[in-house]
Amino acid sequence: MKINLVPNEFFISKRIFKSDIQGKKDSSPIVRISVISISLAIVVNLITLAVVSGFQQEVRQKISGFGSHLFVRGQGDGSNYDSPPILKENPNIINLKNSPEIKSIYPVAFKPAILQSSKIERKVKLSKGKDTSFIQQDVQGVVFKGVDTSYNFSFFENYLTEGRVPNLSKSKSFSEILVSKKTATSLNYKVKDTINAFFVRNKPIKQQFIVSGIYNTELEEFDKKIVFTDLKTVQNLNDWGLNASINISDTVYNNQFILSADVSGSGRNFLYDWGNGFQKYNAFLFYPKSDTLIRLIVKEYDFNNQKNNLTDTAYLKVDISNKLPENYTIQTDDFDEIIKQYKDLKGLNYDVIVSDNQVIKFSHDDNKSNNENYISGFEIMIKDWGKLNESKLNIQKKIGFIPDNQGMILNVKSIVDNEKDLFLWLSFLDINVLIILILMLLIAIINVGSAMLVIIVVRTNFIGILKAIGARNWSIRKVFLYQVALLILRGMFWGNVIGLSLCFIQYQFGIFSLNPEVYYLNKVPIKLDFYHWLFLNLGTIIVCLISLYIPSYVVTKISPTKSIKFD
């Protein structure tokens, strides 16, 4: 008659477990080693998951802080910084704001620039013991990013080291900018300093800005490149839309000047109205006999669709005087044939021409171009990073292949598309994590498997007695599987206690630091997701128990008659 040991298998395994832990000379060392190996595997895997997840999240958030999850731009090659302009008022984009997957949409504009440092006096010690000094000014290439009042500066407010974010709601004589600590240090600027910036348009221009704040995200590649200011400033710095002005030629024919239209912008086909209707001619001969006001209207004409796209207006005020401007010097000997056109005279905003001993003053109106209608693109933040590709496809279906009023096709790019190298590097970390997890599990499996074999060998007499009284092989195997499961659980308990404690200490106090120039962070980041923790623990015990199925097979090979004599 066989005895059914099923109800008592777990009870027996607990008694064996306690005796092994409490001091069996043969099994206690190997049991302790197996417990330590399981604990070590849990500690290492927990820390690895927490650090890699934290690192990926921190770097991803920093990259997204400089840009966005998705970027809507005009179709074309190149980066977002030199993308073709698109219309700011786009009904398709406005409709996207009601989408449940979108968190926010911001219009932005970019403009490359060169920042110039303040004058720095450098002292040099010569070999003969005499000192000399010279004045030095450094320059640095940056990209101005224009944003409006709807932009969320919360990310940069967390990384401010001095000052504040730019005030975009007030109109000032100088626009405010937000620069990185690296840029401010290299160019020797502090908060409230006035900084010179140079831009390339149809003509190079210089503009001054006030430093409102300094930030430091330690993402060096972006810190040294991006400068924030208001959207209107960047729109005015770009040659977008139409910008018309009237030029005066420096040559005279029969006492007549040549007035010509100077048009900048992205258009190609222009029509000009000098007061007698639109025509194709952009210049005419003119000689004033009295004060007058000249008006020029320029429009872009789409010959293919037979419609007008953009218009702009410029004015030129003509004043005739017998007096030369103060501090003006005539640098010509022949008044009849050569005209002196003096531009950018200090304190004057007009051109002076001398002809026939007569002074003519041309005042240019500061006309407004329609570049405020254009932007580089729209930045879109989504609610769920895990659905980035899905959101990209959904938005592309809604706005893609639908031309705007200017015929521009919009395209959607994700931050992963724009920063492929960085995200490829981050994706390699997942492979490293997988390798570490597998290696640590293999070590744990080998140690636990060895522990089971030793425990089986030590308990050979016990196995023989169980078989002699009728216990089935599977029931005996279950006894040892339960025992090893208790070993695994004990190791996992201490591994979780130690691992979670180390993660908490690093999260709270940041004991372990990093080189931000290499890792973009100044300390080891920690992020442990509950599901990652649960998957790690469940996966460890399941994989270990499955792998122990084969070592437990040794029980079936033990003979009752021989094992009872075994000592």
Q: What is the DSSP string of 473-488?
A: HHHHHHHHHHHHHHHH
> Are the C-beta atoms of residues 165 and 179 closer than 8 Å to each other?
no
Average confidence (pLDDT) per 10 residues, the chain, 567 residues: 52 63 56 83 91 88 86 80 82 82 91 84 67 74 91 90 84 78 88 88 80 89 89 84 76 71 73 84 78 83 60 81 52 40 40 59 65 86 88 85 70 86 83 86 82 74 72 76 82 92 91 82 87 89 81 68 58
- What local confidence, expressed as pLDDT, does residue 496 receive? 93
How do strand 350-355 and strand 341-342 relate by DSSP bridges? Answer: antiparallel
The token duo for 107 is: 């219009």
H/E element, 422: helix 420-458
Residue 336's pLDDT is what? 37
d(CA 121, CA 256): 52
Contacts of residue 556, defined as CB under 8 A and 6 or more positions apart, other chains included, come to 473, 477
- Domain map (residue ranges) of the chain: 6-62+422-565, 76-239+372-408, 251-367
Residue with tokens 């607990």: 14
pLDDT of residue 333: 42
The pLDDT, as a whole number, for residue 341 is 40
* Residue 306 contacts residue 282 (beta carbons within 8 Å): no
Supply 75's token pair: 């179709």
pLDDT of residue 87: 83
pLDDT score of 43: 92
Residue type at 264? S
Would you state the pLDDT for residue 340?
Answer: 42
Beta pairing partners, 358: 355
**Cβ-Cβ contacts under 8 Å for 223 (sequence gap 6 or more):** 180, 181, 182, 183, 215, 216, 217
To the question of pTM greater than 0.85 for the whole model, the response is no
Q: pLDDT value at position 559?
A: 64
Distance between CA 181 and CA 199 in Å, rounded?
22
Radius of gyration of the chain (CA): 39
Predicted confidence at residue 252, as pLDDT, reads 62
